[in-house]
Amino acid sequence: GAVVSQHPSRVICKSGTSVKIECRSLDFQATTMFWYRQFPKQSLMLMATSNEGSKATYEQGVEKDKFLINHASLTLSTLTVTSAHPEDSSFYICSARRAGGLGETQYFGPGTRLLVL
């Protein structure tokens, strides 16, 4: 199967600090990775799409200067929440689309719970 990992799984930080979340595709190359956010009892909200070697495409309403995305390689994308505030507390999930093959299925990481105090 296709495995996507996220690190850390849980982070608690003080308001004003920056938090970096890593997303790795462990057994396949991902030309495209996606970052989602989920609020309690809500659906997945797409934040941005990142393609390896190029700038991320952000969804409307998502601040690109606040949520920095870097897709440095075919197996790694990072999301940095800069100057985090309590309203940024959420469940962040990354997803990777396998390069080649069918390419349609997105595989999700286990998620990162961010709590900003």
Partner 1 sequence: DQQVKQNSPSLSVQEGRISILNCDYTNSMFDYFLWYKKYPAEGPTFLISISSIKDKNEDGRFTVFLNKSAKHLSLHIVPSQPGDSAVYFCAARPSGNTPLVFGKGTRLSVIA
Q: Residue 83 or residue 97: which is nearer to partner 1 going by CB?
A: 97
Instruction: Report the nearest approach of partner 1 to the CB of residue 1 (Å).
Output: 9
Contact (CB, 8 A) for 47 and 91: no
Question: Please, how many CA atoms are within 13 Å of residue 22, restricted to the half-sphere of its CB?
Answer: 10
Q: Does 113 bind partner 1 (CB under 8 A)?
A: yes
Instruction: Report the nearest approach of partner 1 to the CB of residue 16 (Å).
Output: 26
Rounded Cα distance between 56 and 2, Å, is 23
Rounded Cα distance between 67 and 55, Å, is 12
Which residue among 13, 20, 44, 80 contacts partner 1 (CB under 8 A)? 44
Tokens of 67: 């949520």
Q: Does 106 bind partner 1 (CB under 8 A)?
A: yes
Which residue among 25, 32, 75, 78 contacts partner 1 (CB under 8 A)? 32
Residues 71-100 that bind partner 1 (CB under 8 A): 91, 93, 95, 97
Q: How far is CA 87 from the centre of its chain?
A: 17
